[in-house]
Each structure stands twice: as C-alpha cells, then as structure tokens.
Amino acid sequence: MPGGNTRTVLHVPPFPLTIVRGEGAHIWDADGHVYLDFLGEYTAGVYGHSHPVIVGAIRAALEDGIVLGGPNRYELALAEAICDRIPSIELVRFCNSGTEANLMAVSLARAVTGRSKLVVFEGGYHGGVFQFAHGGSPLNAPFPFTVGAYNDGASAELVEEDTAAVLVEPLQGSGGVIPGERAFLHALRDATRARGALLIFDEVMTSRLSRGGLQEVLGITPDLTTLGKYVGGGLAFGAFGGRHDLLARFDPSQPDAYQHAGTFNNAVLTMAAGVAGLTQVLTADEIGRLNGLGDRLRDRLNAAGGDFYATGYGSMVGLHFEHDEPAQLALLHLHMLEEGFSYARRGFIALSVPITEADVDGFAAAVERALS
Ligand code: PMP
C-alpha cells in the first residue's frame, strides 16, 4: 500500500495507531494502549464496539449463509425501517458506500431532469470523488460542478434553469462539523423547487442526529436523500432514496427501468446488522441521550475559553482553534492520546452508544489540561 495506507483520512504523522480490538466505548492499539473512542468511526460506529444486539444479529445471519445470490429476508425490513424514519424517503435502494450513494443520486437526478449541472458547496464532502474543500480534488467525478459558499443564502442564486441538482450536507461533517443554517437550507429548497432542479440532502453522517435525520429537525423535505455509515450496523453500507416517482424509475417491472447493479447491494450481514441497529438500539430516546451528551461536551469545551471552541449538533462535535491552525490541533490530539482519548486529529468527534456522562466529563477535563 502506498505509504502503508489505504484510507487517506487515517494517515496522521508521525504514524497512525493500528487498532487491534474494540469493546464497548474502548479501543486497544497494537502496543496495548487503551483509549476511549470518541471518533466513533466518523459516525459509522454509533453502536460502539461489539454491541450485543448487533453481534447477535450478525451471528444469526451468518449461520444461514452470506452469499446467497438472491433477495434475502433482511433487506425489506431494513428498507421499511428507513422509509419509516426518514421523511423524504418513500422508496430506497441500497449500495455499498456513501460515495456510491451520492454517485447514484446525482446520476439519477441528471437522468430524470435531462440537465447536467450540479451545485455543491465549499467545504462539502460527499465521498472520495466528491471533495470540495480547499479547491477540490483532481480525482473528483467529472460532473460540471458549481461550488457555492456554504451557509450563504446568496448561493441559492447559483441554481439555474440547467441545474440538475443541488447536493448539500445539512451539517458539514468533514468540513468541520458546521451546522447548516435554516435560512440557507430553506433557500436551497425554494430555489430548486422554483427552477425544476432536485434537492439532494447528503445525510450520510447526519441521519443519526434525529430519528428522521436532520431534515426532520429542519422541516425540509429534499427530493432525494443519501445515507451510509452506521445504517448498516457498522458494516459497509450506502443507500439513496426519496420521492416515489423518482425512485420508481428503478422498478425492474417497468419497460424503461433504469438499471442499478451491485453485487453486495443487499449483503446479508449488512442488512441484518442494519435492521437490528435501527429497530432495537437507535431509538428516539437513545438518539436524544447521545445528543444530550454532545451538547454537554460542547458546552464544557466552549467554557474553556481562549482561541479554542467547539461546533456541531448533538452527538457530532467539531474542535477548532481560531483559524483552524493544524499545529495546534495536532498538539491537542497527541496530548489527548496520551490521556487515553481517541478522536480524529482534524478535531472530529462522533459519540457512540456506550459512552457515558463520566466519559464526556473526562474528555472535557483532559482538553482543559491540554489547553492550560
Ligand atoms: N457523504 C458524507 C457527508 C460523508 O461524511 C462521507 C464519508 N465521510 C461520505 C459521503 C462518503 O461515504 P463513504 O466513506 O461510505 O464512501
């Protein structure tokens, strides 16, 4: 592997820690150090490590075989659980990653509208071929993108008569855990509706922030929504869904149906783990508890003062220094590792089910020590 790495975000100097085990809220590195896991696998690990309900569902499914080559008994239940929760999702299709979900959603939008252009936002991240921070990536998918300013209502004017879709995170995750402002997101809804473009909410990270995703909190119904991360119970997962008339284009019984392939779209273990997680673990009450912990952490961190502050919503927290100085973030990260807390060096935190109030208070106290 180039640089010993196959996932860029995990590469931090002088070297990343190899994690060999996880249990509950804890992870162990290859040298035997133990850490409280505040990264939560960038939101995919919301259930923590080896949650008994998830492990039980995977074990039970495993017994009956995992490469069955047909519709299986779990995918309908997962689809129903998702449609029941996310207001905009009337029909849903599964894939294998958030990147793939966004590729399918924007491709669907372009096909149904007959238009080519996409509006996205500075700092947005929608997958390995959809990176819009710091001028974008040469590896981005070759769509005609217009990049607007996030949380700037004037960006709605970028939606034109030849715009196929606006792709937006209702809270920018990788871009610093920055909540989208209501007025900005409503302006995008209004502009897309007025000009015949589709609004796509990338809720790959944010769907965990309420039972119906951030769209429910905001009271905005996008035309399409993409999902990923924890929805597969911690296994590789992606999904895109939305308006009935749009998704119905994939109904194979229709003569002009769009095709959407994918060997592992209905992977047995993923479907089984996903159903168990959504229906048995991530209830509205549990989401509320996790969000409360995030609020508690943010409040404490923001009381620390100086040029340090925390952003986010509920159980997703971003750590910042004014000007987001990378050296300061790196020093804080190394200090926190020494104190036994793991999170992403860029200041990204996603809380998970086994984390307690005492864990959150311990994290905040360690940050206070680092700052002082
Ligand atoms: N959209 C958002 C908002 C994400 O945060 C991510 C992953 N960090 C993706 C899409 C891509 O998901 P995946 O890594 O599963 O391809």
**Tell me: the pLDDT tens digits for 17-29?**
999 999 999 999 9
CA distance 135 to 258: 33
Token output for 105: 């959603």
Q: Is 202 tagged catalytic?
A: yes
Closest atom of ligand 1 relative to the 99 alpha carbon: 16
Read off the amino acid at residue 218.
Answer: L
Nearest C-alpha neighbor of 306 from the set 260, 214, 368: 368
Ligand 1 centroid to residue 371 C-alpha, Å:
31
Measured CA distances, 32 to 13, 20, 344, 359 (Å): 20, 9, 20, 20
Report the nearest-CA residue for atom 7 of ligand 1: 127
Report the nearest-CA residue for atom 2 of ligand 1: 126
Q: Is 324 tagged catalytic?
A: no
**pLDDT tens, residue by residue, 353-371:** 999 999 999 999 999 999 9
User: What number does CATH give the domain 53-281?
Assistant: 3.40.640.10
The CATH 3.90.1150.10 portion of the chain extends over: 2-50+283-371
CB 22 within 8 A of CB 29: no
Write the DSSP symbol of residue 316: E
Ligand 1 centroid to residue 64 C-alpha, Å:
30
Instruction: Tell me what pLDDT residue 305 has.
Output: 80
**pLDDT tens, residue by residue, 182-213:** 999 999 999 999 999 999 999 999 999 999 99
| pLDDT(11) > 80 | yes
| pLDDT(50) > 80 | yes
Closest atom of ligand 1 relative to the 127 alpha carbon: 11
| Per annotation, catalytic residue among 35, 47, 74, 125 | 125
CB 26 within 8 A of CB 341: no
CA distance 239 to 93: 6
Residue 50 region by backbone torsions, left for phi larger than 0, else alpha for psi between -120 and 50, else beta: left
The CATH 3.40.640.10 portion of the chain extends over: 53-281
Ligand 1 centroid to residue 312 C-alpha, Å:
17
CB 180 within 8 A of CB 151: yes
Of the pLDDT bands very low, low, confident and very high (cuts 50, 70, 90), residue 294 is very high
Instruction: Tell me what pLDDT residue 325 has.
Output: 84
Nearest C-alpha neighbor of 266 from the set 54, 125, 76: 76
Q: Is 117 tagged catalytic?
A: no
The CB-side HSE value for 283 (13 A sphere, CA atoms) comes to 4
Ligand 1 centroid to residue 271 C-alpha, Å:
19
Give, for 215, the enclosing helix (H) or strand (E).
helix 213-218
Show the ligand 1 pocket: residues with CB < 6 angstroms.
Answer: 42, 97-99, 102, 125-127, 169, 173-174, 202, 204-205, 228, 238
CA distance 34 to 283: 29
Query: Architecture of 2-50+283-371 per CATH?
Result: Alpha-Beta Complex (3.90)
* Sign of the dihedral through C-alpha 12, 14, 20, 25: negative
pTM of the entire predicted model: 0.98
CA distance 282 to 73: 21
Token output for 257: 């149906």
Q: Which residues pair with 240 in a beta bridge?
A: 93, 226
| Per annotation, catalytic residue among 229, 230, 313, 343 | 229
Task: Give the largest CA-CA distance in the chain.
Answer: 67
CA distance 71 to 286: 31
**Mean pLDDT for all residues in the chain:** 97
| pLDDT(242) > 80 | yes
